[in-house]
Amino acid sequence: MSTLVTGIGELVTNDPSMGEGRLGAVPDAALVVSDDEVAWVGPAGTAPDADTRVDLGGRAVLPGFVDSHTHLVFAGDRSAEFEARMSGAAYDGGGIALTVAATRQATDDELRTHLRRLVGEMRAQGTTTVEVKSGYGLSVEQEARSLRLAREVTAETTFLGAHVVPPEYVGRTSEYVELVTGPMLAACAPYARWVDVFCEPASPHAFDGEASRAVLEAGRDAGLALRVHANQLSAGPGVALAVELGAASADHCTHLTAADVEALAGAATVATLLPGVEFSTRSPYPDARRLLDAGVTVALATDCNPGSCFTSSMAFCLALAVRDMRMTPAEALWAATAGGAAALRRGDVGRLAVGARADLVVLDAPSYRHLAHRPGVPLARVLDPPAPPSR
Ligand SMILES: [Zn+2]
Protein backbone atom coordinates (compact mmCIF):
# COMPACT_ATOMS: atom_id res chain seq x y z
CA MET A 1 0.00 0.00 0.00
CA SER A 2 1.26 3.49 -0.85
CA THR A 3 0.58 6.76 0.98
CA LEU A 4 0.93 10.27 -0.40
CA VAL A 5 2.07 12.66 2.33
CA THR A 6 1.27 16.16 1.19
CA GLY A 7 0.89 19.65 2.67
CA ILE A 8 4.55 19.55 3.81
CA GLY A 9 5.55 23.19 4.38
CA GLU A 10 9.25 22.29 4.41
CA LEU A 11 10.75 18.86 3.74
CA VAL A 12 14.28 18.12 4.97
CA THR A 13 15.70 15.33 2.80
CA ASN A 14 19.44 15.53 3.68
CA ASP A 15 19.92 14.98 -0.05
CA PRO A 16 21.57 18.13 -1.49
CA SER A 17 20.48 17.16 -5.02
CA MET A 18 16.83 17.48 -3.95
CA GLY A 19 16.81 21.02 -2.59
CA GLU A 20 18.49 23.83 -0.73
CA GLY A 21 21.84 23.37 1.05
CA ARG A 22 23.22 20.31 2.78
CA LEU A 23 19.75 19.60 4.22
CA GLY A 24 18.29 19.39 0.71
CA ALA A 25 15.26 21.32 1.99
CA VAL A 26 12.22 21.42 -0.33
CA PRO A 27 9.40 23.96 0.27
CA ASP A 28 5.75 22.95 -0.37
CA ALA A 29 6.76 19.33 -0.79
CA ALA A 30 5.11 15.93 -0.98
CA LEU A 31 6.43 12.43 -0.47
CA VAL A 32 5.13 8.95 -1.27
CA VAL A 33 5.69 6.07 1.14
CA SER A 34 5.39 2.50 -0.09
CA ASP A 35 6.25 -0.66 1.89
CA ASP A 36 7.95 1.40 4.63
CA GLU A 37 10.26 3.04 2.10
CA VAL A 38 10.34 6.46 0.47
CA ALA A 39 9.12 5.89 -3.09
CA TRP A 40 8.90 9.47 -4.38
CA VAL A 41 9.96 12.96 -3.19
CA GLY A 42 9.34 16.34 -4.82
CA PRO A 43 7.25 19.51 -5.11
CA ALA A 44 3.61 18.96 -4.09
CA GLY A 45 2.37 20.15 -7.49
CA THR A 46 3.98 17.23 -9.32
CA ALA A 47 3.12 14.44 -6.84
CA PRO A 48 1.83 11.13 -8.23
CA ASP A 49 -1.32 9.38 -6.95
CA ALA A 50 -1.24 6.86 -4.11
CA ASP A 51 -3.65 4.50 -2.32
CA THR A 52 -4.15 6.86 0.64
CA ARG A 53 -3.36 10.48 1.38
CA VAL A 54 -2.26 12.41 4.49
CA ASP A 55 -2.30 16.23 4.50
CA LEU A 56 0.04 17.82 7.05
CA GLY A 57 -1.31 21.36 6.72
CA GLY A 58 2.00 23.13 6.14
CA ARG A 59 4.04 21.41 8.86
CA ALA A 60 7.74 20.62 8.42
CA VAL A 61 8.89 17.02 7.90
CA LEU A 62 12.36 15.69 8.70
CA PRO A 63 14.12 12.33 8.79
CA GLY A 64 13.69 10.64 12.19
CA PHE A 65 16.47 11.39 14.66
CA VAL A 66 19.29 8.83 14.77
CA ASP A 67 20.49 8.57 18.38
CA SER A 68 23.82 6.79 17.92
CA HIS A 69 24.95 6.71 21.58
CA THR A 70 22.82 5.52 24.50
CA HIS A 71 23.07 3.34 27.61
CA LEU A 72 19.48 2.18 28.14
CA VAL A 73 19.86 -1.24 29.80
CA PHE A 74 20.05 -0.44 33.50
CA ALA A 75 18.21 -0.32 36.79
CA GLY A 76 18.35 2.08 39.72
CA ASP A 77 18.15 5.81 40.22
CA ARG A 78 21.00 8.33 40.49
CA SER A 79 19.07 11.57 40.84
CA ALA A 80 20.74 12.15 44.22
CA GLU A 81 24.13 12.11 42.50
CA PHE A 82 22.83 14.69 40.02
CA GLU A 83 21.65 16.85 42.89
CA ALA A 84 25.05 16.59 44.58
CA ARG A 85 26.79 17.47 41.33
CA MET A 86 24.64 20.55 40.88
CA SER A 87 25.77 21.52 44.41
CA GLY A 88 29.42 21.32 43.37
CA ALA A 89 30.48 17.65 43.45
CA ALA A 90 32.76 16.64 40.55
CA TYR A 91 31.94 14.00 37.91
CA ASP A 92 34.55 11.26 37.36
CA GLY A 93 32.48 8.27 36.23
CA GLY A 94 32.60 6.63 39.67
CA GLY A 95 28.83 6.58 40.17
CA ILE A 96 28.53 3.94 37.45
CA ALA A 97 29.24 1.32 40.15
CA LEU A 98 25.85 2.13 41.77
CA THR A 99 24.06 1.40 38.51
CA VAL A 100 26.06 -1.82 38.09
CA ALA A 101 24.90 -3.06 41.51
CA ALA A 102 21.25 -2.25 40.79
CA THR A 103 21.37 -3.70 37.27
CA ARG A 104 22.87 -7.00 38.45
CA GLN A 105 20.02 -7.41 40.94
CA ALA A 106 17.22 -6.65 38.47
CA THR A 107 15.24 -9.39 36.74
CA ASP A 108 15.13 -9.68 32.95
CA ASP A 109 11.57 -8.39 32.97
CA GLU A 110 12.44 -5.38 35.10
CA LEU A 111 15.28 -4.44 32.72
CA ARG A 112 13.13 -5.13 29.67
CA THR A 113 10.20 -3.03 30.89
CA HIS A 114 12.47 -0.09 31.70
CA LEU A 115 14.34 -0.38 28.39
CA ARG A 116 11.13 -0.44 26.38
CA ARG A 117 9.75 2.53 28.27
CA LEU A 118 12.86 4.58 27.42
CA VAL A 119 12.81 3.55 23.75
CA GLY A 120 9.12 4.51 23.63
CA GLU A 121 9.92 7.84 25.26
CA MET A 122 12.52 8.47 22.55
CA ARG A 123 10.18 7.52 19.73
CA ALA A 124 7.53 9.86 21.14
CA GLN A 125 10.09 12.66 20.67
CA GLY A 126 11.05 11.78 17.10
CA THR A 127 13.89 9.25 17.45
CA THR A 128 13.45 6.38 15.00
CA THR A 129 16.90 4.72 15.19
CA VAL A 130 18.69 4.10 18.48
CA GLU A 131 21.98 2.48 19.40
CA VAL A 132 22.04 0.75 22.81
CA LYS A 133 25.16 -0.23 24.75
CA SER A 134 25.71 -2.79 27.48
CA GLY A 135 28.09 -1.80 30.25
CA TYR A 136 26.20 -2.03 33.54
CA GLY A 137 26.52 -5.81 33.95
CA LEU A 138 30.31 -6.18 33.74
CA SER A 139 30.33 -9.97 34.13
CA VAL A 140 30.12 -12.59 31.38
CA GLU A 141 26.48 -13.51 32.09
CA GLN A 142 25.31 -9.98 32.90
CA GLU A 143 26.82 -8.35 29.82
CA ALA A 144 25.42 -11.08 27.56
CA ARG A 145 22.00 -10.60 29.20
CA SER A 146 22.10 -6.83 28.65
CA LEU A 147 22.88 -7.27 24.96
CA ARG A 148 20.26 -9.99 24.51
CA LEU A 149 17.66 -7.57 25.89
CA ALA A 150 18.99 -4.65 23.81
CA ARG A 151 18.74 -6.83 20.69
CA GLU A 152 14.99 -7.06 21.31
CA VAL A 153 14.62 -3.33 20.59
CA THR A 154 17.39 -2.49 18.08
CA ALA A 155 19.90 -3.98 15.65
CA GLU A 156 22.42 -1.33 16.78
CA THR A 157 23.76 -3.07 19.88
CA THR A 158 27.18 -2.32 21.35
CA PHE A 159 29.28 -4.48 23.67
CA LEU A 160 30.70 -2.15 26.34
CA GLY A 161 32.11 -4.61 28.86
CA ALA A 162 34.99 -2.11 29.13
CA HIS A 163 32.77 0.65 30.51
CA VAL A 164 34.40 0.78 33.94
CA VAL A 165 36.46 -1.67 35.99
CA PRO A 166 33.85 -3.39 38.22
CA PRO A 167 34.28 -3.23 42.01
CA GLU A 168 35.50 -6.82 42.31
CA TYR A 169 38.37 -6.09 39.88
CA VAL A 170 39.58 -2.79 41.35
CA GLY A 171 43.39 -2.77 41.27
CA ARG A 172 43.37 -5.69 38.78
CA THR A 173 42.54 -3.87 35.55
CA SER A 174 44.66 -6.10 33.33
CA GLU A 175 42.87 -9.21 34.64
CA TYR A 176 39.54 -7.56 33.89
CA VAL A 177 40.69 -6.68 30.35
CA GLU A 178 41.55 -10.37 29.85
CA LEU A 179 38.02 -11.29 30.91
CA VAL A 180 36.50 -8.65 28.58
CA THR A 181 38.60 -9.70 25.59
CA GLY A 182 38.16 -13.42 26.29
CA PRO A 183 35.07 -15.15 27.70
CA MET A 184 32.93 -11.98 27.94
CA LEU A 185 33.49 -11.04 24.31
CA ALA A 186 32.76 -14.61 23.22
CA ALA A 187 29.44 -14.60 25.11
CA CYS A 188 28.45 -11.12 23.90
CA ALA A 189 29.53 -11.06 20.25
CA PRO A 190 26.47 -13.01 19.01
CA TYR A 191 24.19 -10.22 20.28
CA ALA A 192 26.34 -7.22 19.30
CA ARG A 193 27.12 -5.29 16.13
CA TRP A 194 29.66 -3.00 17.78
CA VAL A 195 32.38 -2.98 20.45
CA ASP A 196 33.15 0.13 22.50
CA VAL A 197 35.51 1.12 25.33
CA PHE A 198 35.62 4.01 27.80
CA CYS A 199 39.15 5.16 26.93
CA GLU A 200 40.03 7.69 29.63
CA PRO A 201 43.40 7.55 31.38
CA ALA A 202 42.30 10.52 33.54
CA SER A 203 39.62 8.42 35.27
CA PRO A 204 40.70 5.74 37.75
CA HIS A 205 37.57 3.78 36.76
CA ALA A 206 38.16 3.65 32.99
CA PHE A 207 40.81 2.30 30.58
CA ASP A 208 44.12 3.64 29.24
CA GLY A 209 45.24 3.56 25.62
CA GLU A 210 46.88 0.15 25.85
CA ALA A 211 43.88 -1.55 27.46
CA SER A 212 41.53 0.22 25.04
CA ARG A 213 43.52 -1.02 22.06
CA ALA A 214 43.35 -4.59 23.39
CA VAL A 215 39.56 -4.38 23.77
CA LEU A 216 39.00 -2.87 20.32
CA GLU A 217 41.33 -5.26 18.50
CA ALA A 218 39.76 -8.28 20.19
CA GLY A 219 36.29 -7.01 19.26
CA ARG A 220 37.36 -6.44 15.68
CA ASP A 221 38.82 -9.97 15.51
CA ALA A 222 35.46 -11.29 16.74
CA GLY A 223 33.72 -9.56 13.83
CA LEU A 224 32.44 -6.45 15.62
CA ALA A 225 32.77 -2.92 14.25
CA LEU A 226 34.34 -0.25 16.46
CA ARG A 227 33.27 2.87 18.35
CA VAL A 228 35.12 4.60 21.19
CA HIS A 229 34.29 6.77 24.23
CA ALA A 230 37.14 9.17 23.52
CA ASN A 231 38.58 12.35 25.05
CA GLN A 232 35.68 13.08 27.39
CA LEU A 233 37.57 14.16 30.50
CA SER A 234 41.06 14.78 29.06
CA ALA A 235 42.98 14.93 25.77
CA GLY A 236 43.85 11.23 25.99
CA PRO A 237 44.67 8.68 23.30
CA GLY A 238 41.06 7.75 22.43
CA VAL A 239 40.57 9.79 19.25
CA ALA A 240 43.95 8.81 17.79
CA LEU A 241 43.17 5.16 18.53
CA ALA A 242 39.69 5.39 17.00
CA VAL A 243 41.08 6.89 13.79
CA GLU A 244 44.00 4.45 13.62
CA LEU A 245 41.73 1.42 14.01
CA GLY A 246 39.06 2.75 11.62
CA ALA A 247 36.31 3.15 14.23
CA ALA A 248 32.97 4.41 12.89
CA SER A 249 32.78 7.02 15.64
CA ALA A 250 34.79 8.74 18.37
CA ASP A 251 32.27 9.86 20.97
CA HIS A 252 32.47 12.89 23.32
CA CYS A 253 35.57 14.63 21.77
CA THR A 254 35.42 17.28 24.50
CA HIS A 255 39.20 17.66 24.93
CA LEU A 256 41.06 17.54 21.62
CA THR A 257 44.61 18.37 20.51
CA ALA A 258 45.31 19.93 17.10
CA ALA A 259 46.58 16.51 16.00
CA ASP A 260 43.24 14.91 17.04
CA VAL A 261 41.26 17.40 14.95
CA GLU A 262 43.57 16.86 11.98
CA ALA A 263 43.28 13.09 12.31
CA LEU A 264 39.46 13.23 12.41
CA ALA A 265 39.35 15.58 9.41
CA GLY A 266 41.27 13.09 7.31
CA ALA A 267 39.37 10.01 8.45
CA ALA A 268 36.02 8.27 8.02
CA THR A 269 35.61 8.37 11.80
CA VAL A 270 32.67 10.56 12.85
CA ALA A 271 33.05 12.88 15.86
CA THR A 272 29.90 12.29 17.93
CA LEU A 273 29.21 15.16 20.31
CA LEU A 274 27.03 14.59 23.39
CA PRO A 275 26.25 18.07 24.74
CA GLY A 276 23.64 16.73 27.17
CA VAL A 277 26.56 15.36 29.20
CA GLU A 278 28.30 18.71 29.50
CA PHE A 279 24.95 20.30 30.36
CA SER A 280 24.19 17.70 33.04
CA THR A 281 27.70 17.68 34.52
CA ARG A 282 28.15 21.46 34.16
CA SER A 283 31.33 20.97 32.14
CA PRO A 284 32.81 22.89 29.19
CA TYR A 285 31.26 21.92 25.85
CA PRO A 286 33.25 20.38 22.99
CA ASP A 287 34.45 22.86 20.37
CA ALA A 288 32.01 21.95 17.61
CA ARG A 289 33.00 24.91 15.43
CA ARG A 290 36.65 23.86 15.39
CA LEU A 291 35.61 20.38 14.20
CA LEU A 292 33.13 21.61 11.59
CA ASP A 293 35.48 24.25 10.26
CA ALA A 294 38.19 21.58 9.89
CA GLY A 295 35.81 19.48 7.78
CA VAL A 296 35.15 16.74 10.38
CA THR A 297 31.84 14.84 10.08
CA VAL A 298 29.94 15.63 13.28
CA ALA A 299 27.03 13.70 14.83
CA LEU A 300 24.87 14.61 17.81
CA ALA A 301 23.48 12.00 20.23
CA THR A 302 21.98 12.00 23.71
CA ASP A 303 24.27 9.58 25.63
CA CYS A 304 21.06 8.84 27.56
CA ASN A 305 22.22 7.10 30.75
CA PRO A 306 21.27 7.11 34.44
CA GLY A 307 24.27 9.15 35.63
CA SER A 308 25.99 11.79 33.54
CA CYS A 309 23.02 12.63 31.27
CA PHE A 310 19.51 11.30 31.65
CA THR A 311 17.79 13.06 28.76
CA SER A 312 16.21 11.05 25.95
CA SER A 313 15.50 14.15 23.86
CA MET A 314 17.45 14.66 20.64
CA ALA A 315 15.65 17.98 20.17
CA PHE A 316 17.03 19.19 23.51
CA CYS A 317 20.59 18.19 22.51
CA LEU A 318 20.12 19.92 19.18
CA ALA A 319 19.05 23.12 20.96
CA LEU A 320 22.16 22.92 23.19
CA ALA A 321 24.35 22.45 20.11
CA VAL A 322 22.93 25.60 18.56
CA ARG A 323 22.82 27.74 21.69
CA ASP A 324 26.01 26.64 23.45
CA MET A 325 28.23 25.08 20.75
CA ARG A 326 27.48 27.60 18.00
CA MET A 327 26.34 25.07 15.44
CA THR A 328 23.83 26.51 12.99
CA PRO A 329 20.30 25.06 13.19
CA ALA A 330 20.96 23.33 9.86
CA GLU A 331 24.29 21.86 11.02
CA ALA A 332 22.72 20.61 14.23
CA LEU A 333 19.77 18.97 12.47
CA TRP A 334 22.08 17.32 9.93
CA ALA A 335 24.28 16.03 12.79
CA ALA A 336 21.24 14.63 14.65
CA THR A 337 19.98 12.75 11.60
CA ALA A 338 22.47 12.13 8.76
CA GLY A 339 25.42 12.51 11.15
CA GLY A 340 24.04 9.82 13.45
CA ALA A 341 23.45 7.58 10.43
CA ALA A 342 27.10 8.09 9.38
CA ALA A 343 28.23 7.26 12.92
CA LEU A 344 26.33 3.96 12.59
CA ARG A 345 27.44 3.47 8.97
CA ARG A 346 23.83 3.31 7.86
CA GLY A 347 22.70 4.50 4.42
CA ASP A 348 19.01 3.71 4.85
CA VAL A 349 18.24 6.14 7.69
CA GLY A 350 18.98 9.80 8.44
CA ARG A 351 17.69 10.96 5.03
CA LEU A 352 14.43 11.03 3.11
CA ALA A 353 15.39 10.10 -0.44
CA VAL A 354 13.96 7.40 -2.69
CA GLY A 355 14.87 4.00 -1.25
CA ALA A 356 15.49 5.23 2.30
CA ARG A 357 13.43 3.96 5.22
CA ALA A 358 10.23 5.98 5.62
CA ASP A 359 11.13 7.28 9.10
CA LEU A 360 9.21 10.55 8.90
CA VAL A 361 9.09 13.05 11.73
CA VAL A 362 6.46 15.80 11.63
CA LEU A 363 7.03 19.08 13.47
CA ASP A 364 4.19 21.15 14.82
CA ALA A 365 5.98 24.06 13.17
CA PRO A 366 6.59 25.35 9.64
CA SER A 367 10.40 24.92 9.68
CA TYR A 368 13.15 22.81 11.25
CA ARG A 369 14.56 26.04 12.73
CA HIS A 370 11.83 25.86 15.38
CA LEU A 371 13.56 22.85 16.96
CA ALA A 372 16.27 25.08 18.44
CA HIS A 373 14.15 28.25 18.43
CA ARG A 374 11.57 26.64 20.77
CA PRO A 375 13.65 24.56 23.23
CA GLY A 376 11.75 22.24 25.53
CA VAL A 377 8.57 22.33 23.44
CA PRO A 378 7.48 18.87 22.22
CA LEU A 379 7.20 19.73 18.51
CA ALA A 380 8.38 16.45 16.98
CA ARG A 381 6.38 13.26 16.49
CA VAL A 382 6.87 10.21 14.32
CA LEU A 383 4.37 9.94 11.46
CA ASP A 384 3.04 6.42 11.75
CA PRO A 385 1.68 4.96 8.52
CA PRO A 386 -2.11 5.18 8.25
CA ALA A 387 -4.02 1.96 8.83
CA PRO A 388 -5.01 0.15 5.65
CA PRO A 389 -8.50 1.15 4.45
CA SER A 390 -11.24 -1.05 5.95
CA ARG A 391 -12.96 -3.35 3.50
ZN1 LIG B 1 28.38 6.93 26.81
The pLDDT score that the predictor gives to residue 93 is 65
Q: Compute, in angstroms, the gap from residue 375 CA to the centroid of ligand 1.
A: 23
Cβ atoms of residues 97 and 166 within 8 Å: yes
Q: Compute, in angstroms, the gap from residue 69 CA to the centroid of ligand 1.
A: 6
- What's the whole-number average pLDDT of the chain? 96
Q: Compute, in angstroms, the gap from residue 230 CA to the centroid of ligand 1.
A: 10
Q: Which of 104-113, 143-152, 208-217, 381-390 has the lowest mean pLDDT?
A: 381-390
Q: Compute, in angstroms, the gap from residue 366 CA to the centroid of ligand 1.
A: 33
Strands 249-252 and 225-230: parallel
pLDDT in tens, 123-150: 999 999 999 999 999 999 999 999 999 9
Q: Compute, in angstroms, the gap from residue 70 CA to the centroid of ligand 1.
A: 6
Cβ atoms of residues 203 and 225 within 8 Å: no
Q: Compute, in angstroms, the gap from residue 389 CA to the centroid of ligand 1.
A: 44
Q: In the structure, what pLDDT confidence band is assigned to residue 366 with cuts at 50, 70 and 90? A: very high
Q: How far apart are CA 75 and CA 20, in angstroms?
A: 45
The pLDDT score that the predictor gives to residue 387 is 55
Q: Compute, in angstroms, the gap from residue 206 CA to the centroid of ligand 1.
A: 12
The pLDDT score that the predictor gives to residue 144 is 98
pLDDT in tens, 320-340: 999 999 999 999 999 999 999
Q: Compute, in angstroms, the gap from residue 279 CA to the centroid of ligand 1.
A: 14
The pLDDT score that the predictor gives to residue 89 is 83
Would you say residue 55 has pLDDT above 80? Answer: yes
Q: Compute, in angstroms, the gap from residue 20 CA to the centroid of ligand 1.
A: 34
Q: Compute, in angstroms, the gap from residue 330 CA to the centroid of ligand 1.
A: 25
Q: Which of 21-35, 54-68, 373-387 has the lowest mean pLDDT?
A: 373-387
The pLDDT score that the predictor gives to residue 168 is 95
Percent of the chain with pLDDT over 90: 93
Name residues with Cβ closer than 5 Å to ligand 1, which is an ion: 303
Q: Compute, in angstroms, the gap from residue 71 CA to the centroid of ligand 1.
A: 6
Cβ atoms of residues 147 and 135 within 8 Å: no
Q: Compute, in angstroms, the gap from residue 265 CA to the centroid of ligand 1.
A: 22
Instruction: Tell me the whole-structure pTM to 2 decimals.
Output: 0.97
The pLDDT score that the predictor gives to residue 391 is 46
The pLDDT score that the predictor gives to residue 384 is 85
Q: Would you list the DSSP string of 1-41?
A: -EEEEEEEEEE--S-TTTSBTTTTBEEEEEEEEETTEEEEE
